[in-house]
């Protein structure tokens, strides 16, 4: 049967269960037939996906314990379908109901139950360990601890401590290794001393703060307590200069003292027109002040003698 037809028929079963009001009741659902199998079939996979990609997509419905992505025996390329096993059989119901008919990388997936999963026969020369992994999976198995009383647990802890103490220490004649170990011991001791000194300083500051509170109980000792370890300082020393609080002060904005003349051969016509307007405004301002508005004298420093005008 066409895979798309199977997908449609499967979705119709789910719609019928919703209409009958038995959706979610596994005892009356069509999923009950596959209650003893935690394997699902996944078809229509993109050929570029690996086992890890498939697990990352389908692991949102439960813990995956085994996967068998069918590959070509000669080339090793994926054939586009696989068998996947969940740790809990209820995860198969979720994956079948939610992923059957979805589009993954522009390909429609077909997800269905597998009633009886059989180990693939395309690798008959596989060793026993590989076959066991195919059948049982590679998920970590739960460790079964024996039932122990509280007294037995305490005794076991004591034995473990004794074993740890009985471990022989490292004995070596290597001078470099010994120097490194000695340096580490010294560093640990220095850290301990620093911690002790910090604790002593904190205790001393607390005592001073209590004495000052007793002398003047009406004072604001919260702010004063913060400055005990650093000493009283001014605001400028603590926060530095802050121009945000310079209210009312005039800020002198320095403008251009001269009008830069553009290169008429290379400049855009808009810049030239702007320069002309600014130049006319400067002339009008000079005329209002009674200054001369004659053109600038020719800059002789930039002209060679053979080009200079002889006036």
Domain CATH code at residue 24: 3.30.70.330
254-306 per-position pLDDT tens digit: 655 555 666 767 777 777 788 788 888 888 888 888 887 776 554 444 455 55
Give exposure, 127-156, as e/b (b: 16+ Cβ within 10 Å): eeeeeeebeebeeeeeeeeeeeeeeeeeee
Question: How far is the C-alpha of 45 from the C-alpha of 103, rounded, in Å?
Answer: 10
| Arithmetic mean of pLDDT, 93-104 | 92
Residues of the chain above pLDDT 90, percent: 20
In a domain, 27, yes or no: yes
183-218 per-position pLDDT tens digit: 888 888 999 999 999 999 988 888 888 887 777 766
In a domain, 187, yes or no: no
Q: How many domains does the chain have?
A: 1
In a domain, 159, yes or no: no
In a domain, 271, yes or no: no
| Arithmetic mean of pLDDT, 79-93 | 91
42-69 per-position pLDDT tens digit: 999 999 999 999 999 999 999 998 888 9
Give the pLDDT band of residue 228 (cuts 50, 70, 90). very low
In a domain, 277, yes or no: no
How far, in whole angstroms, is CA 260 from its chain's centroid?
A: 52
In a domain, 233, yes or no: no
| Arithmetic mean of pLDDT, 93-97 | 91
Residue span of the structural domain in which 10 resides = 3-136
Describe the strand order of the beta sheet including 64-71 as a list of residue ranges.
64-71, 78-86, 39-43, 110-113
Query: Phi then psi for 39, rounded to 5 degrees?
Result: -100, 145
* Helices (H), ranges, 39-174: 51-58, 90-99, 128-136, 150-165
In a domain, 224, yes or no: no
| Arithmetic mean of pLDDT, 148-174 | 71
In a domain, 47, yes or no: yes
């Amino acid at each position: 049967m066409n895979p798309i037809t199977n997908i449609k028929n499967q979705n119709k079963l789910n719609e019928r269960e919703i209409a009958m009001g038995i959706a979610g009741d596994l005892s009356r659902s069509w999923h009950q037939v596959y209650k003893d199998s935690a394997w699902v079939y996944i078809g229509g996979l993109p050929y570029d996906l690996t086992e890890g990609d498939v697990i990352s997509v389908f692991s949102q419905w439960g813990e995956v314990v085994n996967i068998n992505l069918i590959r070509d025996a000669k080339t090793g390329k994926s054939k586009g379908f696989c068998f996947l096993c969940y740790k809990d059989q209820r995860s198969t119901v979720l994956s079948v109901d939610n992923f059957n008919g979805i589009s993954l990388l522009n390909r429609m997936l077909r997800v269905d139950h597998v009633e009886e999963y059989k180990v693939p026969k395309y690798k008959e020369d596989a060793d026993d360990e590989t076959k066991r992994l195919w059948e049982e999976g590679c998920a970590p198995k739960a460790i079964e601890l024996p039932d122990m009383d509280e007294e037995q647990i305490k005794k076991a802890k004591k034995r473990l401590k004794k074993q740890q103490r009985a471990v022989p220490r490292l004995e070596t004649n290597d001078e470099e290794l010994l120097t490194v170990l000695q340096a580490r011991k010294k560093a640990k001791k220095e850290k301990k001393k620093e911690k002790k000194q910090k604790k002593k300083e904190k205790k001393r500051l607390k005592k001073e703060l209590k004495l000052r509170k007793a002398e003047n109980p009406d004072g604001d000792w919260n702010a004063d307590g913060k400055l005990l370890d650093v000493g009283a300082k001014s605001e400028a020393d603590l926060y530095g200069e802050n121009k945000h609080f310079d209210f009312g002060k005039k800020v002198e904005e320095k403008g251009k003292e001269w009008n830069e003349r553009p290169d008429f051969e290379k400049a855009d016509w808009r810049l030239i027109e702007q320069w002309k307007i600014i130049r006319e405004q400067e002339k009008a301002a000079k005329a209002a002040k009674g200054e001369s508005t004659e053109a600038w004298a020719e800059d002789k420093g930039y002209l060679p003698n053979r080009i200079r005008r002889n006036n």
